[in-house]
Structure 1
Amino acid sequence: MSAINRTAAAGMIVLTLALAWTSIELQRVAADGAAPWTREWITGWLIGPAVSLLVLAVFGTRVHLLTRGQPIHWPKLVWVERGFLLTMALVCGWPYVPAVADSFSVGEPAAHLLAPVVGVVVVTVLPTLLTKQQAGGGLSGSGAA
């Protein structure tokens, strides 16, 4: 497996794990204490995975094409990915901000926002790393391998 494929695979694994964590957080927020197996509870469980699969499909396609030397240059697509991830972060973190939470501790929002932030970082950084590797520049800032 080439270095670019290993980098792409590692990035996709990290993004998948971050989105799985975020999906669980979204379920808790979306279900909002609904009784198990009610319509609200099931909808809460479906929202996170549905958005996560959409992000994975779009980003996975973008990464796949990039590793094959056919990058997609469509800024709106990048904003859609980031928009979904930032919305997921907002929903995960909202119940823990000082004005909303019953009690506030810095660790609460940090713990609930960690996975969505990791997702945003992967979606932002991985294409740049892959482009740099594809160009033969390696991962150093100077362009030397």
Structure 2
Amino acid sequence: MNAVGAESVDRVAVQVDRLCWSGVLLGLAFTMTNVQQFAAQGAAAWSLPWCTAWLLDPMVSVVLLAILRAEQVTARHGVGTGRWVRAAKWFTLAATYVMNTWEAFTAGSPAGVVLHSVPPLVVFVAAEAVTDLRDKLGTAMAVSRSAAFMNAALQTSARPAATAPAEVETDLSAPGPGGSAGKDSQRRHRTSFTEYLTVAREARTPETVVSPAWVREVTGCSRGLSSRLAATLITENGGDAR
């Protein structure tokens, strides 16, 4: 897979992310009416209990969306969440399901139970899948970029290793040929690809999910070089981003 393939994977990842979140939002919007009826308990329309009943579902849904979004970002960087985060996610999902299906269960209507179970279950499945899908698509993108860089390296293998591109310049004052340090020209030290790679290897742990963003965070390299470094690290680990 070449660089064009990597860009294609990137576009697909964005599309999948948007479609999954659209499904989650639509599912939560569908459940809002059922939860409002559950909370209103037959109150007159536009009365105070009827109006405040509309607040129950958004209250639960906003917390759920915040947790799902946070989990997506932390998973991308290989950071695990705690017990309270998982408990809050499962509690909000369970609360949404119970409030949607309660009246159908009490009425003994199997069709109603199925109808009101589908949206909360879709939200639950999408919530679990969206993070994993994003992680796997990120891995596929890194692997495809790795293959592209390896092909490019094979085509330019005749070039001396010493000409590897440098990314970051650091000014180091050094005495010039003719006088004091204040009048001397400054020597430029360039951080090489190998030096960046060494820093990333030392910072990597068994739990780390290698990605360009993680590489930039631990090495401070540029965005363009971070993709090459991430691809190299993944290749060294047999194509596994972890």
The question of a shared fold, defined as TM-score above 0.5 by the shorter chain, is answered with yes
Task: With a CA cutoff of 8 Å and minimum separation of 6, indicate the structure with the bigger relative contact order.
Answer: 1
User: Residues of 2 paired with 1:116 and 1:125: CA distance?
Assistant: 14
Say whether the 8 Å CA contact 1:58–1:81 is kept in structure 2. Answer: yes
2:134 aligned partner: 130
Letter paired with 2:22: I
User: Residues of 1 paired with 2:79 and 2:43: CA distance?
Assistant: 41
Runs (4+) of structure 1 exceeding 4 A deviation are none
Other structure's SS at 1:33 match: coil
2:40 aligned partner: 31
Say whether the 8 Å CA contact 1:93–1:109 is kept in structure 2. Answer: yes
1:50 aligned partner: 59
Letter paired with 1:111: L
* Higher alpha-carbon Rg: 2
Letter paired with 1:85: L
Letter paired with 1:29: F
User: Residues of 2 paired with 1:110 and 1:73: CA distance?
Assistant: 34
Which residue, 73, 82, 85 being the options, matches 2:80? 73
Say whether the 8 Å CA contact 1:86–1:120 is kept in structure 2. Answer: no
- After superposition, the Cα gap between the structure-2 partners of 1:130 and 1:66, relative to the gap in structure 1 and judged at 3 Å, is farther
Displacement, 1:48? Answer: 0.7
Which has the larger share of strand?
A: 2
1:18 aligned partner: 27
Runs of 5+ consecutive residues of structure 2 not aligned to the other structure = 1-9, 142-238
Identity of aligned residues (%): 23
Displacement, 1:38? Answer: 2.1
Runs of 5+ consecutive residues of structure 1 not aligned to the other structure = 138-142
Displacement, 1:83? Answer: 1.8
Say whether the 8 Å CA contact 1:66–1:130 is kept in structure 2. Answer: no
Letter paired with 1:38: S
Which residue, 102, 106, 121 being the options, matches 2:110? 106
- TM, length-normalised to structure 1: 0.80
Displacement, 1:55? Answer: 1.5
Letter paired with 1:36: A
Per-residue CA deviations over 1:29-61 (Å, capped at 9, x if unaligned) read 111110122221122111111211221223234
Per-residue CA deviations over 1:79-99 (Å, capped at 9, x if unaligned) read 3223201111011111111xx
Say whether the 8 Å CA contact 2:96–2:120 is kept in structure 1. Answer: yes
Q: How much is the aligned-residue C-alpha RMSD, in angstroms?
A: 2.3
Displacement, 1:27? Answer: 0.4
